[in-house]
Structure 1
């Protein structure tokens, strides 16, 4: 038999207190019976009865577990690859403090929301790189998120094709799942227009594979200047570059893959909607194990104790009222 609890100082105190007062009660009962000239032997039936259900209460409190049964433990989750645009325009500050810093904060919220799922990070501009492979280690993932900056990738334009192709390859090659159910998700985050040529064909493959693709745009229609290490970014004519959110490409990809487009701008933040949408997707069975477990059978002892209390109340002793 296995016990989920143990007799501590508090339980021991109440047991001793019960014993002390009940011994005192027995002494007074015997003395009263002798004074009345009656027998006091029958009262001991009640003493045994009450001691029994008090002991049963203690046993139930300790949570006895016995008997063996098997229980199937299933590991269910999703695979989520997040592709983050790290082009220089993500340093624009129309979404304070900057678009990138805001995204980094929201990514930590997404990681927290899907703590039982595997999440990976891809950073891109016109090229894509795996920042963090699919992992359950949320501490490491948050560390990678914190280190994201626009100096990590070449800044020669924005191309959605490479990160989508990389996410598709990585998420499709995974061999850990044990069912064919699809619960693989790609989140593409950017603020600008797609200048790639292969995005449409990759999006078609994503749709055919049954992988969910969601896009998240960040920025405002008014836009802002872009801060660099040398001051504000300028064009060839020496004028300050103003970066504005261009959601057309993001909406087009989401529509082509039966996904959804979400946005962070000056007046709305759809990250909570994105989290809820992903949360509604059924997880995938990764592993299944059968374990031998013991069940807590406290209710047997509690039920018997309650039955004895009922008998105690129902049985009357004529010799001495107790």
Structure 2
């Protein structure tokens, strides 16, 4: 038999004091019956009854557990790669405080929502770089998210192909027959048009491997200037560049792979919907093991104690008859 709880020293002292007082009371009652020449049998029965249910109540509070059983415990989770666009246009502030800062804030919410899953981080612009491989360490992942800035990657246009290809390779490399096509997810976050040449081929590979793709557009149709160190970014003609959200590439990519497009703008935030969509994806069984389990059977002892308490109430002791 195993015990769920244990008595502290304070509780043991209180119980001992109660027993001492009760024994003192019992001694006085037995002495009285003897002086009066009355039988003490009823008092002894009463004592045994009360001692029994008092002990049963203490046993039930300790939580007696017995009846060993074997149960299978399964660990279920997902592998999620987040690809974040770090092109200079992500510094635009049509979404406050800026597109990138808003993305970083929402990414922490996504990490918190899937703290039992493995999450990796890829940063990209014209090229893609692994910022954090798949990990359960959410604290480390949040540190990587906090350090994201547009100066970390070369900025020669936006290409969706390299980050999707890198995410696909990493997810396939960790794939097994049992987990394939069930729990591999890629999230692509960007504000711009795709200038890559092989995005469609990568998208087809994503779909064939059963990797779910969600895209998240950040920005507004109204757009905003792109702040740089000495003012705002200008084109070759000296005109200030206004960056607008170009959602068509992201929408087409999601549609072609059977995924879903979400958006963050000045009046809309689909991150909660994105989290729900990820939750709807079936997780994979990462580990299964047999564990020995026991059940708390306190109610047997408590029920018997209540029955004895009822008998105690019904069974009265009269020392003097008139």
TM-score (norm 1): 0.92
- For 2:302, the equivalent position in structure 1 comes to 302
- For 2:225, the equivalent position in structure 1 comes to 225
CA deviations 1:126-178 (Å, max 9, x no partner) are 11111111110101111110111111111000011111111111111104784
Task: Tell me, in whole angstroms, the C-alpha distance in 2 between the residues paired with 1:314 and 1:169.
Answer: 77
Per the TM alignment, residue 298 of structure 1 is displaced from its structure 2 partner at its CA by 2.4
Contact 1:126 1:159 (C-alpha < 8 Å) held by counterparts: yes
- For 1:191, the equivalent position in structure 2 comes to 191
Q: How many residues align?
A: 321
Per the TM alignment, residue 80 of structure 1 is displaced from its structure 2 partner at its CA by 0.5
Per the TM alignment, residue 29 of structure 1 is displaced from its structure 2 partner at its CA by 3.1
CA deviations 1:286-306 (Å, max 9, x no partner) are 111112234333233223222
- For 2:2, the equivalent position in structure 1 comes to 2
34-43 or 82-91: which moved more?
34-43
Per the TM alignment, residue 316 of structure 1 is displaced from its structure 2 partner at its CA by 4.2
TM-score (norm 2): 0.92
Relative distance call for 1:202 and 1:252 in structure 2 (3 A) is: same
- For 1:200, the equivalent position in structure 2 comes to 200
Per the TM alignment, residue 20 of structure 1 is displaced from its structure 2 partner at its CA by 4.0
Contact 1:90 1:100 (C-alpha < 8 Å) held by counterparts: yes
Q: Which runs of 5+ in 2 are unaligned?
A: none
Q: Which runs of 5+ in 1 are unaligned?
A: none
Task: Tell me, in whole angstroms, the C-alpha distance in 1 between the residues paired with 2:17 and 2:49.
Answer: 18
Task: Tell me, in whole angstroms, the C-alpha distance in 1 between the residues paired with 2:179 and 2:243.
Answer: 45
Task: Tell me, in whole angstroms, the C-alpha distance in 2 between the residues paired with 1:70 and 1:204.
Answer: 45
Contact 2:119 2:133 (C-alpha < 8 Å) held by counterparts: yes
Contact 1:40 1:319 (C-alpha < 8 Å) held by counterparts: no
Where 2:41 maps in the other structure, the secondary structure is coil
Task: Tell me, in whole angstroms, the C-alpha distance in 2 between the residues paired with 1:320 and 1:125.
Answer: 99
Relative distance call for 1:307 and 1:282 in structure 2 (3 A) is: farther
- For 2:234, the equivalent position in structure 1 comes to 234
Contact 1:177 1:286 (C-alpha < 8 Å) held by counterparts: no
Relative distance call for 1:177 and 1:34 in structure 2 (3 A) is: farther
Contact 1:264 1:270 (C-alpha < 8 Å) held by counterparts: yes
CA deviations 1:252-311 (Å, max 9, x no partner) are 111111111111000011101111111122211011111223433323322322232233
Task: Tell me, in whole angstroms, the C-alpha distance in 2 between the residues paired with 1:125 and 1:210.
Answer: 25
- For 1:292, the equivalent position in structure 2 comes to 292
Contact 1:179 1:285 (C-alpha < 8 Å) held by counterparts: yes
Task: Tell me, in whole angstroms, the C-alpha distance in 2 between the residues paired with 1:271 and 1:95.
Answer: 14
288-297 or 27-36: which moved more?
27-36
Task: Tell me, in whole angstroms, the C-alpha distance in 1 between the residues paired with 2:10 and 2:220.
Answer: 63
- For 2:54, the equivalent position in structure 1 comes to 54
233-242 or 99-108: which moved more?
233-242
- For 1:163, the equivalent position in structure 2 comes to 163
Where 1:42 maps in the other structure, the secondary structure is helix
Task: Tell me, in whole angstroms, the C-alpha distance in 2 between the residues paired with 1:297 and 1:181.
Answer: 43
69-78 or 99-108: which moved more?
69-78
| Coordinate RMSD, CA, aligned | 2.1
CA deviations 1:191-236 (Å, max 9, x no partner) are 0011111111211221222211111001111111111223211111
